[in-house]
Structure formats: structure tokens, C-alpha cells
Amino acid sequence: MARIGVFICHCGENISATVDVAKVAEKAGKLSGVAFSVDYKYMCSDPGQTLIIESIKEHKLTGIVVAACSPRMHEGTFRKAAEKAGINPYLCEMANIREQVSWVHPKSDATTQKALDIVRTLVEKVKKNVALFPIKVPVTKTALVIGGGIAGIQSALDIANAGHKVIMVEKKPSIGGHMSQLSETFPTLDCSQCILTPRMVEVAQHPNIELLTYAEVESVSGFVGNFDVKIRMKAKSVDMKKCTGCGACSQKCPTKKIPDEFNEGMGFRTAIYSPFPQAVPNKPVIDRDHCTWFTKGGKCGLCKKICPTGAIDYETQDEFRDVKVGAIITATGFDLKHADFFPEYGYGQFKDVIDGMQFERLASASGPTSGEIRRPSDGKIPEKIVFVACAGSRDKAKGIEYCSKICCMYTAKHAMLYKHKNHEGKAYVFYMDIRAAGKNYDEFVRRAIEDDDVNYIRGRVSRIYEKNGKLIVKGVDTLMNSEPVEIEADMVVLATAVVANIGAESLAQKLHISYDQHHFFSEAHPKLKPVETNTAGIMLAGACQSAKDIPESVSQASASASKAIGLFSSDELTREPIVAVVNRQAPPNFTSCTGCLLCMEVCPYHAIEKEEIKDRAGNLIKVAAHVNAGLCQGCGTCVAMCRNKSIDIQGFSNDQMMSEVMALLNS
């Protein structure tokens, strides 16, 4: 026998100004099944909650409806109050008579009637509510970090230092990411590798971190706390246990002219190679696409002959590892927009038009020119360099509307580095705005302008073409009456747009996480949940979510790590019980489910599995659907799909929704 309590809130004047709350409380009290009805000024306040708790106890209420603001506001508050009063929190529902009634309608009988209609609807619903208990799932206290750049490294170290195991998967032969390619970092002009490599070594040596390089994620299944991940370890052709990193193989390798990825195509590498001197692990791999042994059917083989420890093995194949992890952190980073995208700038056509990362390699002491800024075409030192900011970014016509965030800073840095190395040289920066919002960032740009004499011209470049060995840059100076400006430059550096990593879309699909039209991974909430995804247990760190600089990547990485650590802080995970359930009945039916598994097909979280109901001897009786409560997010698509209503969702059951419809229309 239902004994429902109805609590009508005035919310000060917010509700009572347009709704006759006393009348609603009075009429609600007369509804069948309502044992108690009262109105009060501020239901969410301490005395308000006390009123609810006392009333539940005194009137032995079996369920309550709080008619007040939106459940999105205070459902949690009143559910906790119900729990304090000794009844199951899920026996409490809220009727929204503020945001959806009192605030949007004038004071009138119709408004009061509508409030009453809604209260009546929720009273009928709550009569059908059942006690629900939070669901517990076990947790594997191991994290998977995908990506070994600065964000991945930070996350991995934080989780490992908290005492949990980490598996790091990096697709390149070495960790370090783009930060390892940088010469200096803004705003301090710290040597990038100097601050990064100690961290890289720490990762490699940490007892809690297992580092898998030259490896990629092949598939992911499971759910938060219980992910099953298959990792493909690409064939390195080098036995990492035997290799000592002596480097004799790459010294002798006759294939020396492969465009070097680490140097952004500005230099060459050999077929057996380690990407850079400080690589971690500092052991080479063979690039089978260019190695003579593999491309010319067994010819050469010099490295194998030379290797003092016999570490080279051409027969190795890709291997697969299956691992179980409880949390996944994606830290796959970004790429720069390349080539054909800028025909008006001649990028990809003129050798001396390069992008920011290529300039970085020129400036780097360990780069192809040993740190001297030289023209790729003839090796001469440029006397005039033009830097073009916003190349592709913030441009609707190019389809990249966002700001790439890091370019204003690194362009200033590049201009400064050039001037430091070439005091007599002239540097020009064509910009739209200068975005230098971080700590010490604006001061950094000021240094470039005031101390290092970099010419900042506010205007865009419309065209670059080559004439007599020089690059003619046609732009405009909008602060000088929009005068057209033409500069004969020796080199042009384009700050090209930051774009998502090339494998981002396929990885997101493997992980079942959302991504936007630019293939950046989507956060759960842009303001309040910037490091989680909509998929429980998968977090984001770094530029894979959106363009960002190193301090932000590190912060976000630590934030993701803290989410993972939080997940691991207990042996079991508690989840909201608003989940789908397939009914079970006594034998011989067992369930009304016919095993059509249509629900399984439509579940976005793959939360429904096939269950074989067997007898004691192990004979199959019937196949039915089964919901993994740990994975179910409670959308109810399966419920609407089910042809004979064998699956239902607790909290929004067929019975409850029907009662609501009937109650709303019948007074």
C-alpha cells in the first residue's frame, strides 16, 4: 500500500509568485496513495531537508515527490535526504515546477493546474519506483597509456608513482613525441631535450611502468575497471635483450638516404635506425619498407654480420599481447597540417618554404644543420626570414576554424632564435592577433619585438612565389592604412595549423570514444569534465583533445592520472543503478526473452551479451540477452527495441512511463 509524501517548495518567491503552492499541496494531499502533503519555503535548505526526513519517519512514507526546481539541480540532494531518513534514495523523485512551470508562465489558474498535473504525474511514477542499490564491479589496477609524448609520460609517471602498474604503448621506435623534436621551449627557452630526456629515462626505468615501443593498440573491449586490450608489437627485427645500443649497425647501413621523420624530411636516416641520439629505448629498429634485405629479397644483410651480439633477426614477426587494464589514458598528440594545403604559399613546391617543426629541427643543435639556420635549397644562411602566423588556422575557407594556440608563441620563439644566431638578419612576422595568454607569455613576445628587433606586421600573406632565387612574400600591413607589403625573403616559415594525429579517428573508434569533426577526441563536458570522455574509464591527456602547449598538456596529463588513481583507490567500482535488466522468471520459462538479441545490436556500449541458460547437466535450455550492469549507461534504447518487453530499465521502466502518461492526462 503506497504511502507517498509530497513536498511542494516555494523556492522563496521563485515558485510561489506564479504558482499557488498551498493549493497544489492541498490538492496533492487528496490524491490516492498520498499519505502526506506539505508546502515549505526552501525545501533544499537544512530545515527543509529536516522536514522531509522527519515526515518520512513520522508518516512511514514509502516514497516521496519533491516538487521544486529541476531534478538536474537537486535530485541528488533530496535522494541523500531520503537515504538519511532510512528509505532507499531511489524512492525519491522530483517534479520540476520551477524551470518548467513557474519561471516560464504568468500567475494564473492554468499555471497552478499545470504544476498540479506534473506533481500528479510524478506521484504515479514514484508509486512504481523500486529500491535500487549501487552496482559494484571489480577493478584491475593497471592503466594503459596510449602515446609516449610529454602528456603520456607525465600520466604514466603519476600513476606509477602512486603505486599502480602502467603499460605505455608508443607507435614510434622511441618515446618523447614532438617535444623531443623541439630545440627550445617557450617562455624560458629551456633546451627541450634537456628537460624531457630525464623524464623519458625515468619512464624506462620505473619498476611500475612497462614500456612497449614500436607498438600500437589493435583492439579494445570491456568496460571501466575491466578493459581487455590487444596490443600489436610491430616486428623490430632487433632483439632488444641482446642489443646494447652500440650503433655499429646504423653506421654501416648502406641505405642512407631515407627522408628522416624525426628531422621532418630535412635530413636523412638509414634503414636500421634509432630516431635520435637520446632515444628511449636507445636501440634501433629496421624500417622494412626501405631495408634492402626486405625489399630486394635477402640482399645486403650487413647489419647482421656486423652486430657484435647477434641481435639482428630478420625473421621476427609482429607479435600480439593481450592485457587487462582498468583505465585507459589517450595521449596520442597532434600533427601539423602539411603540403598541398597551401598552394598559395608554395609549401611543398618551394624548398625554402617550411613549417614550424622543420624550422625547429634547423634550430636544434642535434638537427640536420647542427643548429645553424640554413636554406634547404642551397644551404646558405638566410638574411631575411618571413614568418607567417595563422597558416590555415582560424580560416573558414580552409575548413580549420579553430585557433591552434601554440603558434603565436613558437613563432616569436623562432624569430628570436634566428636573431640570436644571426644578429644582422631580418625577421618579419605576419600575424592576425597575438595570443600569448600564459604565464610570462606576453613578456616573451615583447622580448622578441623590443629586444630582438623582430618586425611584427599585422596582416595576412596572400601569396608567395619564387623569383631569382628569392621568395616574394605579398602581404598587407593593416595598421599602416592597409598598405600592401612585399618582402623579398630568403626563407619563409609557415606556422601551419595543429591537426589531430593521423590515426586518431581509427583509435577513437577502437576505444568507442567520441571525436569531433576535426578528429580531436571529445571531452565529457567542455567546462567541468575536460579530461574524461563519455566512455567511463577512458581519459584524455594533451593535444589529442585540442591544441595546447606543454604546461597545459602536463596539467591535463596529471589530471587524467588522478582520475585513474581515483578509479584504482578501491577494489570495487560503484555505479549508478539506472540500468537495463532482462527479466528472469521461474523455470520452465526462465525469461520471456526469446534471444533475438536485437537489443545487443543497438546498445552503444556493447553492454548486452548473449547468455546461455543451461540446466544442471550443462544442456542448453535457451539463449537470452544479459545486461552487463557495469557497462550499461541507462539510455533505454534496448527497452524500446524489445519486441516483447523482456528488457526494462530500472528508474524509467515501461510501467513507470505508462503511469506518467496516464496520470498527466487523467486528473
Partner 1 sequence: MSEQFEPKIVAFVCNWCTYAGADLAGTSRTKYATNVSIIRFPCTGRIDFMLLMKAFENGADGIIVSGCHPNDCHYTSGNFHARRRWIVFRSLLDFMGFDTDRITFSWVSAAEGTKWASLVDETTEKIRAKGTFTEFKKLDYSTLEKLSNDAITK
Partner 2 sequence: MRIGYYPGCSLEGSSKEYNDSLFAVAEKCNITLEEIKDWSCCGASAAHNLNHDLAIALPARTFALAEKQGLTEIVVPCAACYSRMATSKNEISSNVATRQKIEKFIDLKLSADVKILTVFEFLQKYIFPVVDEHIVNKLNQKAACYYGCLYSRPKEIAAIEQIENPMEMDVVIAKAGATPIDWAFKTECCGAGLSVSRTDIVAKLSGKILEDAADRGAESIIVACPMCHMNLDMRRPEIKKQLNKDINIPVLFITQALGLSMGISAEQLGMNKHYVPTEQVVNCMVKLEA
Closest approach, Cβ 627 to partner 1, in A, equals: 14
Least spacing, CB of residue 473 vs partner 2, in Å: 12
Residue 661 Cβ vs partner 1, minimum distance, rounded to whole Å? 5
Question: 586 vs 665, which CB is nearer to partner 1?
Answer: 665
The Cβ-side half-sphere exposure at 354, using a 13 Å CA radius, reads 25
* CB 465, min distance to partner 2, A: 3
List the end-to-end C-alpha distance of the chain, in Å, as a whole number.
21
- Between 467 and 643, whose beta carbon lies closer to partner 2? 467
Residue 397: contacted member of partner 2, partner 1, none (CB under 5 to 8 Å, by partner type) = partner 2
Tell me whether residue 118 or residue 489 sits nearer to partner 1 (CB atom): 118
Catalog residues that contact partner 2 under the rule CB under 8 A.
Answer: 343-344, 397, 463, 465-467, 472
Partner from partner 2, partner 1, none contacting 466, C-beta within 5 to 8 A by type? partner 2
Nearer Cβ to partner 1, position 103 or 294? Answer: 103
The CA distance from 32 to 37, in Å, is: 12
343 binds, among partner 2, partner 1, none (CB under 5 to 8 A by kind): partner 2
Contacted by 344, from partner 2, partner 1, none: CB < 5 to 8 Å by type: partner 2
104 binds, among partner 1, partner 2, none (CB under 5 to 8 A by kind): partner 1
Binding partner of residue 596 among partner 2, partner 1, none, CB cut-off 5 to 8 Å per kind: none
Q: CB 354 → partner 2: shortest distance, Å?
A: 18
Least separation in angstroms between CB 476 and partner 2: 14
- Cα separations (Å) of 106 from 66, 97, 118, 664? 22, 13, 17, 21
- Which of 617-622's residues contact partners 24+ apart within 8 Å by CB, and which partners? 621/590, 622/590, 622/591, 622/595
Pick the closest to residue 488 from 428, 417, 408 (CA basis): 428
**C-alpha cell of residue 82:** 531520503
Would you state the cell numbers that stand for residue 464, as one nine-digit string?
608567395
Residue closer to partner 2 by CB (options 76, 343) is 343
| Nearest residue (CB) to partner 1, 118 versus 406 | 118
65 closest CA partner among 153, 141, 140, 128: 128
Question: Of the two residues 370 and 509, which places its CB atom closer to partner 1 in the complex?
Answer: 509
How near is the Cβ of 522 to partner 1 at its closest, in Å?
10
Q: Which is nearer to partner 2, 40 or 347 (CB)?
A: 347
C-alpha cell at 654: 515501461
DSSP letter string over 45-90? SHHHHHHHHHHHHHHT-SEEEEEES-HHHHHHHHHHHHHHTTS-GG
- Residue closer to partner 1 (CB basis): 118 or 492: 118
Q: Which is nearer to partner 2, 344 or 443 (CB)?
A: 344
Cis peptide before 207 (omega within 30 of 0): no
Q: Which of 260, 660 has the CB closer to partner 1? A: 660
Pairing of strands 647-649, 190-191: unpaired
List the single partner that 53 binds among partner 2, partner 1, none, CB under 5 to 8 Å by kind: none
- What's the min distance (Å) between Cβ of 647 and partner 1? 11
In sequence order, which residues have a C-beta less than 8 Å from that of residue 267 and are 6 or more positions away?
259, 260, 361, 367, 368
Per DSSP, the three-state class of 258 is strand
Give yes or no for a contact between 524 and 411, defined as CB atoms under 8 angstroms apart. Answer: no
User: Residue 75: which of partner 2, partner 1, none does it interact with, CB under 5 to 8 A by kind?
Assistant: none
Q: Measured from the CB of residue 647, what is the shortest distance to partner 2 in angstroms?
A: 45
* CB nearer partner 1, residue 94 or residue 233: 94
Strand partners, 581: 648
Q: What are phi and psi of 111, to 5 degrees?
A: -65, -45
**Which of partner 1, partner 2, none does residue 402 bind to, with CB < 5 to 8 Å depending on kind?**
none
- CB nearer to partner 2: give 39 or 490: 490
The nearest distance, CB 98 to partner 1, in angstroms, is 7
Partner whose binding site includes residue 604, from partner 1, partner 2, none (CB under 5 to 8 Å by kind)? partner 1
Cβ within 8 Å of residue 222, ≥6 positions away: 228, 324
Q: What is the DSSP string of 533-570?
A: -SSTTEEE-GGGTS---HHHHHHHHHHHHHHHHHHTTS
Sign of CA dihedral 486, 491, 495, 501: positive
**Please, are residues 329 and 153 in contact by the beta-carbon 8 Å criterion?**
no
* Residue whose entry in the numeric block shows the C-alpha cell 618579419: 428
* Nearest of 74, 268, 262 to residue 172 by alpha carbon: 262
96 binds, options partner 1, partner 2, none, Cβ within 5 to 8 A by partner type: partner 1
Which residues contact partner 1 (rule: CB under 8 A)? 70-72, 96, 98-100, 103-106, 108, 110-111, 114, 117-118, 121, 512, 514, 534, 578, 602, 604-605, 633-637, 639-641, 649, 651-652, 654, 657-658, 660-662, 664-666
Q: Give the nearest distance from C-beta 343 to partner 2 in angstroms.
A: 4
Instruction: Return the exposure string of 578-597: e unless at least 16 CB atoms fall within 10 Å of the residue's CB, then b.
Output: bbbbbeeeeeeeebebebbe
- Find which of partner 2, partner 1, none residue 335 binds, CB within 5 to 8 Å per kind: none
Least distance from partner 2 to the Cβ atom of residue 460, Å: 15
Q: Which three cell numbers stand for residue 645?
A: 518487453
Residue 497 CB, nearest approach to partner 2 (Å): 17
- Closest CB to partner 1 among 125 and 419? 125
Distance of closest approach, residue 633 Cβ to partner 1, in angstroms: 6
Among partner 2, partner 1, none, what does residue 297 contact (CB within 5–8 Å per kind)? none
Residue 1 contact, options partner 1, partner 2, none, Cβ 5-8 Å cut-off depending on partner type: none
At residue 569, what is the residue type? Answer: S
Q: How far is CA 162 from CA 145, 562, 565, in A?
A: 15, 9, 7
